[in-house]
Chains A and B, each alone.
Chain A
Amino acid sequence: MTEGVGVAGVYVRDQDEALEFYVGKLGFKLHTDARNGDYRWLTVQHPNQESFQLGLFRPQAPLVDESTAQGLNEAVAKGAMPPLVLVVDDCKAAYQQMTGRGVEFTQEPIERFGSVDASFRDPSGNGWKMIQAR
């Protein structure tokens, strides 16, 4: 299969911090870290998803002006960005492991609708739902 979504990104307040979180705490792998002046194209990959990269981008010039960047940083910090879903085999085990690594959970695992789900946030404020694969 060659067609499909290749990259989707989240806005983060600090790319070093985000990299530390997604790689160090969630177990993603670094895919691309390319800099051009102030601009940094940074993507990570889930170890089981070779064809998809999650971008960790900073709202910044030249892509957006300063006041737009401020607005986007505020929206991220308020948890107003779109939902993200991480699928795991064992939600409670993943919760234990991630809690041990210092991930900020906003909802402990709950069994419902034939599955188990929990919620956490990245340091910037992006909210993830973690759902156990059925």
Chain B
Amino acid sequence: MDRNKPERPSQDPALLRRLLRAKDRMDQASEEEWPVERLASVSGVSEAHFARSFKDAFGIPPHRYLLTRRIEKATALLRDTDLPITQVAFMTGWSSLGTFGRIFRDITGKAPGEFRTNDQAAAHELELVPHCFVSAARRPDLKIAVSEKRRRDSADNGDGPNQTEVP
């Protein structure tokens, strides 16, 4: 038993079902803007309670969840298409190429161009698995804030390029 793990509060299933609707909507259109008021209104929850309820339900704040979905979509586009990186950035919801590149690297550990070269070269045998399950399985697992990840990486590293990411 992990005593440091905070216990999740029990939540009303009816509320969870409505929070799931907000999560589904972000999945459906992660390239769109999802300010808290928009998400809260999808869920029929007050803005003040939305972010906390969402995190209690899904273990990750809504904004960070959105980032993982955008990066997931970007990795798929980089792998499966030859679209220019600028266009991949715009298609997945970033208005600045610089921000996209930085967050992409923070989350996946690689620059978008590098990711494309490596991932397209690797052989994939996932054609038989329905697409959404493949993409869910490949979703970046973002347990900490991007800024925190960046901070830790720069604190831990400093030596050579052969770093392995510790989960």
Listed in ascending order, the chain A residues whose CB lies under 8 Å from chain B are 13, 70, 73-74, 76-79, 83, 85, 104, 106-107, 112-113, 117, 119, 121, 123-125, 129, 131
Contact = CB atoms under 8 A, between A and B. Distances in A.
Contacts of A78: 16, 19-20, 57-58
B13 A76 contact: yes
11 contacts: A13-B13, A73-B13, A74-B11, A77-B17, A79-B24, A83-B133, A85-B130, A112-B131, A117-B132, A119-B132, A124-B17
Interface in B6-40: 10-11, 13-14, 16-17, 19-21, 23-24, 27-28
Interface of B: 10-11, 13-14, 16-17, 19-21, 23-24, 27-28, 57-58, 127, 130-133
Contacts of A73: 13
Given A106-B28, A121-B24, A125-B20, A77 B13 contact: yes
Contacts of B19: 78
Most buried by A among B10, B23, B130, B133: B130
A70 B130 contact: no
Label chain B's interface by main secondary structure: helix
Label chain A's interface by main secondary structure: mixed
A30 to B, nearest CB: 24
A66 B158 CA distance: 52
Given A70-B10, A78-B20, 18 more contacts: A13-B13, A70-B13, A74-B11, A74-B13, A74-B16, A76-B13, A77-B14, A77-B16, A77-B20, A78-B19, A78-B57, A78-B58, A79-B24, A107-B27, A113-B131, A119-B132, A129-B130, A131-B130
Given A83-B133, A124-B17, A125-B17, A113 B127 contact: yes
A109 to B, nearest CB: 12
A112 B27 CA distance: 17
Contacts of B13: 13, 70, 73-74, 76-77
A13 B14 CA distance: 9
A124 to B, nearest CB: 7
Contacts of B28: 106-107
Contacts of B14: 77
Nearest to A110: B131
Contacts of A74: 10-11, 13, 16
Contacts of A121: 20, 24
Contacts of A104: 21
